Amino acid sequence: MNQPILNLMPGDAPFRADPSDSYTLPARFYHDPEIWALERDAIFYKSWYYAGHVSQVAESGCFLTVRIHDQNIFVARTRQGDLKAFYNVCPHRGHELVSGTGKKNIITCPYHAWAFDFDGALKSARNTESVKGFDKSEFSLKEVRVEVFCGLVLVNLDPGAKPFAEQMGDLEREIREYVPTVDELQFAQRDTYDVEANWKVLIDNFLECYHCHPAHKDFVDLVDMESYRTKTCGLYSSQCAGKPRTLNARAYSFTPGDVDFGYAGWYVWPNFTIWAYPGEANLSVLQMNPTGPERCVEYQDWFVKDGKVTQQLQDAINYQIDVLQPEDISLCVSVQKGLKSSGYNQGRFVVDAGKTELSEHAVHHFQKLVADALGAKLDPEAAQ
Ligand code: FES
Ligand SMILES: [Fe+2]
């Protein structure tokens, strides 16, 4: 890409491959509109993007929508039972075809009522009989890659992308080890948070628990921090605690269920995280969707057995909504302001060899993935 803004600039300290010898990414990576646009092309238009849960598109005619920067996509179940994804745009004059989630008999464009089947074929176009050379097959919807992974629906705008599971190595095995009933889970609810911070500030924050003791009093009461370990591997990283701290934690109470470990959280390149809380079987995705250089919409989707939220799971969800998310969002909004301060450009990663809850090595792992995807040259000593 070789944009000067991605290289070491006057006043920058080096970002190195060794986290214990590296400074953090320069602050401009978190607010500069030029870098935000470069990320869009180099990262978001080339990576697998979480779109929803397979239970939301279980039946023929069911659809869900997802927006990747300024690209609208929808995923639908065809009459033959296949899952397909398309750009959510009408090939006539460009109107959006569907919004939100739902089920339809056929996709009818709201503008002039061209109608499409769920395999993307144009079925009817009013008053086109006398249009010279009009060929319906020229106006099929443009397809996008779609895959399902542990119930998660993922789309990719890059037709040449490697399959998601292949890119992620052991991630599926790890998720199934912690949540063996993952295939029985169904979508229950989506919570939305509009945050005044760059998407990477929110990912950085997810990736370390160095802040947990000062900032999350109830989380460190819920989860055994002695056994909390962070592991980085390829395009994902994990943070797991071996056992719950107590069954009657301040955060919420539970009896041991299918999920009887303390906590498991995975970060998945580029912008989503997967969580499993102690208690009854559950999984959630918290996705950080960039909506501007300094703005992000977070979606948290909850998946529970048969899609039915019990009182115990409702307590866990309420803890996330009322306590943990507000605590993290307030930290991230403050950091975003700090990243614009003339008194700040870069910090250091606090890392330890034991990869404990106090170590920030997974933050470095993520920032290196970003720097590499952008082709940034931030280490003057490295062979470039
Ligand atoms: S834009 Fe869709 S039918 Fe005209
Ligand atoms: Fe946090």
Q: Is the minimum distance from the CB of 162 to ligand 1 under 6 angstroms?
A: no
Q: Where in the chain is the domain with CATH 2.102.10.10?
A: 49-156
Share of the chain above pLDDT 70, in %: 99
CB 97 within 8 A of CB 88: yes
pLDDT 10s digits, 81-115: 999 999 999 999 999 999 999 999 999 999 999 99
> How many C-beta atoms lie closer than 10 Å to residue 30's C-beta?
23
Supply the pLDDT for residue 378: 97
Which residue stretches of the chain have pLDDT < 70?
1-2, 383-384
Helices 361-374 and 199-206: angle between axes, nearest 10 degrees: 150
**CA–CA gap between residue 41 and residue 38 (Å, rounded):** 5
The domain made up of 170-370 has a fold known as: Naphthalene 1,2-dioxygenase Alpha Subunit; Chain A, domain 1 (3.90.380)
Residue 355 beta carbon below 6 angstroms from any ligand 1 atom: no
Distance CA 81, CA 338 (A): 50
Query: Of all protein residues, whose CA lies closest to atom 4 belonging to ligand 1?
Result: 112
**Bridge partners, residue 103, by sequence:** 62
* 314 Cβ contact list (under 8 Å, min separation 6): none
Phi, psi (rounded to 5 degrees) for 103: -140, 135
Helices and strands: H and E segment counts in the chain? 9, 17
203 CA to middle of ligand 2, Å? 10
pLDDT of 245 reads 75
Mutation choice for ligand 1 from 72, 97, 111, CB with most ligand atoms inside 8 A:
111
Task: Name the amino acid, one letter, at 101.
Answer: T
141 lines ligand 1 (CB under 6 A): no
Omega of the bond prior to 270 within 30 degrees of 0, cis? yes
Which of 87, 88, 90, 139 gets mutated to test ligand 1 (max ligand atoms within 8 A of its CB)?
Answer: 90
273 Rama sector, left if φ>0, alpha if ψ -120 to 50, beta otherwise: beta
pLDDT of residue 244: 75
Cα 85 from chain centroid?
Answer: 18
Ligand nearest to the CA of 212: 2
Say if ligand 1 is within 6 A of residue 93 CB: yes
Q: Whose CA is nearest to atom 3 of ligand 1?
A: 112
From the CB of 110, is ligand 1 less than 6 Å away? no
Q: Residues near 180 by Cβ (< 8 Å), separated by ≥ 6?
A: 258
Using DSSP, state whether 159 is helix, strand or coil: coil
Angstrom distance (rounded) from CA 334 to CA 341: 11
Give domain 49-156's CATH architecture. 3-layer Sandwich (2.102)
Question: Residue 334's beta-bridge partner residues?
Answer: none
**The pLDDT of residue 384:** 56
Give the amino acid at 311.
Q
Identify the nearest ligand to the CA of 202 by its number: 2
Most informative mutation of 86, 88, 89, 93 for ligand 1 (most atoms within 8 A of CB): 93
**DSSP-assigned letter for residue 243:** S
For ligand 1, say whether the CB of 109 is within 6 Å of any of its atoms: yes
Distance 214 CA to ligand 2 centre (A): 10
Full strand arrangement of the beta sheet holding 107-108? 107-108, 115-116, 122-124
* From-to residues of CATH 3.90.380.10 in the chain: 170-370
115-116 vs 107-108, strand pairing mode: antiparallel
pTM: predicted TM-score of the whole model, two decimal places: 0.96
Q: Which atom of ligand 1 is nearest to the CA of 90?
A: 2
Question: Ligand 1 pocket, 123 CB below 6 A?
Answer: no
- What is the C-alpha separation between 155 and 83, in angstroms, rounded? 11
